[in-house]
Amino acid sequence: MKFKKNLYLYTFLFFVLWIIIFLNLKPITNFLIFDLIGLKAETHLGESIWFFVYEVPKVLLLLVLIVFGVGIVRSYFSPEKTRKTLEGKPLFVGNILASLLGIVTPFCSCSAIPLFLGFVEAGIPIGVTFSFLIAAPMVNEIALVLLLGLFGWKVALIYLVTGLLIAIFSGWIIGKLKMEKYVADWVYGVKSNREIIEEAKLPFTKRIESGYQVVKEIVGKIWVYILIGIAVGAGVHGYVPDNYLASLLGDQNWYSVPLAILIGIPLYSNAAGIIPIVSVLIEKGVSLGTALAFMMSVIALSLPEIIILKKVLKWPFIVTFVLIVAFGIITVGYLFNFIM
Amino acid sequence: MEIKILGTGCSKCKNLEKATLQAIQELSIEASVIKVEDIVEIMQYGVMQTPGLVINGKVVLTGKLPSNPKLKELILTNQ
């Protein structure tokens, strides 16, 4: 097929085009908004619209690039392989490994239950399984690269390290607390056929194709959330005065971190939708620790996820899980408010 | 032949069911398509990512929504 032969060429052209557009976004936006439409830079409306027109393509471009790269990386991993790696690992080492694998293993929250059952059935300890289930949604590549693009590498690194630590220690504590008895009884009765579809070694062109496939799938699904996220961000950016939120959610207030987490739990969004909002929160005077805590809470502790988990866990387990993770997030929040 | 779609109700699972129905119609093959939503039954197939596609009792695909040609190929080779 002609397309296959030219796959590398197309991918190369795609990168060149990507770089050209990305580097020239600011002048293009300035031209469109101020010269062509004639909005004034100093007005609320001008600022809001500029923010929206600039941020949407920027975030989408970053997203396409990251998701493409991750699609290729993830083609080397699968839940089955991850399960095999984790089998028979001692508790603490298992927690660390599970958290790290949580970043790279393909994971969708709708598969959380089959994955949980598959791990438990293979005899992987509950604590190790939870390290994976906490890390997989929270420390994800989309969050990391968007943080990198909007706040720089320090914030992204902080997020990566603290997110991993929360996943490792929460899972470890859950393991130590012997929460097994609060798993729904039917779970241990599940017997599964361990026959795995043999995966043939994929040639690299196949992996590139899978990268494109994942871009289509993920960007196609979340672009709406990004638009909404940035629209909210743009409104706040143009119309809410700087430092407006500082008195409520700035670092002087001891209750700002727990409050941010409480607000975050009922909200449900993926990383891509929440980050534009977080960037505006910081601009308006919310301290970094509080903003990160809010973001982690929205992504890692959400009502829909709790409802899904209720199928396999009893209430004491769910309450413990939420409390431990919330405690971890609060610690991270205070830590950053303290050192930044 | 018997085709089962394993899935607890996520959007990908519904799309796979639609795509499968369309594929067998286009291939004009006689097949029963059953949607399995019970998680215990799903687990018996050892599937950790939904949706799963089971043809004549054999898991042929998990966690993915295949393209139409790929789906047809899977159906034909596992007939």
Tens digit of pLDDT for each residue in A6-18? 888 888 888 899 9
* % of chain A beyond a pLDDT of 90: 19
As a whole number, the mean pLDDT across chain A is 84
Mean pLDDT value across residues A130-148: 84
Active site residue B62: no
Is the CB of residue B70 less than 8 Å away from at least one CB of chain A?
no
CB contact under 8 A, A118 and B43: yes
Domains of chain B (ranges; CATH) run: 2-77 (3.40.30.10)
- pLDDT tens track for A60-112: 888 888 889 888 888 888 888 888 889 888 889 999 999 999 988 877 777 78
Catalytic residue among B2, B8, B9, B10: B10
- Residue B46: its pLDDT value, please? 80
pLDDT for B69 beyond 60: yes
* % of chain A beyond a pLDDT of 70: 95
Domain ranges of chain A: 2-184+203-339
Asked if this assembly's ipTM is beyond 0.85, the reply is no
Mean pLDDT value across residues A274-278: 81
Mean pLDDT value across residues A295-313: 85
Least confidently predicted of A186-190, A199-203, A279-283, B57-61: A199-203
A111: nearest CB among B40, B46, B49: B49
Report the distance separating Cα A14 and Cα A61, nearest Å: 11
Q: What are phi and psi of A242, to 5 degrees?
A: -55, 150
Residues facing A313 on adjacent strands: A183
- Residue A170: its pLDDT value, please? 95
Report the distance separating Cα A188 and Cα B44, nearest Å: 13
- Residue A244's pLDDT band (cuts 50, 70, 90): confident
Q: Which residue of A has its CA nearest to B8?
A: A110
Q: Which residue of B has its CA nearest to A195?
A: B46
Nearest in space to A211 (alpha carbons), one of A70, A111, A54: A70
More confident residue, A18 or A273: A18
Report the distance separating Cα A82 and Cα A99, nearest Å: 11
- pLDDT tens track for A179-228: 888 998 888 877 766 655 556 677 888 888 888 888 888 888 778 878 88
- Residue A1: its pLDDT value, please? 46
Report the distance separating Cα A107 and Cα A338, nearest Å: 34
Is the CB of residue B69 less than 8 Å away from at least one CB of chain A?
no
Residues in CB range of A35: below 8 A, 6 or more apart: none
CB contact under 8 A, A110 and B12: yes
Active site residue B10: yes
- Residue A160's pLDDT band (cuts 50, 70, 90): very high
CB contact under 8 A, A111 and B65: no
- Residue A212: its pLDDT value, please? 87
- Residue A256: its pLDDT value, please? 86
Is the CB of residue B27 less than 8 Å away from at least one CB of chain A?
no
CB contact under 8 A, A190 and B43: yes
Could you count the other beta carbons within 10 Å of the beta carbon of residue A244? Answer: 14
- pLDDT tens track for B43-52: 888 888 888 8
- pLDDT tens track for B11-29: 788 889 999 999 999 998 8
CB contact under 8 A, B47 and A194: no
Report the distance separating Cα A322 and Cα A301, nearest Å: 7
Q: Which residues of B touch A189 (CB under 8 A)?
A: 40
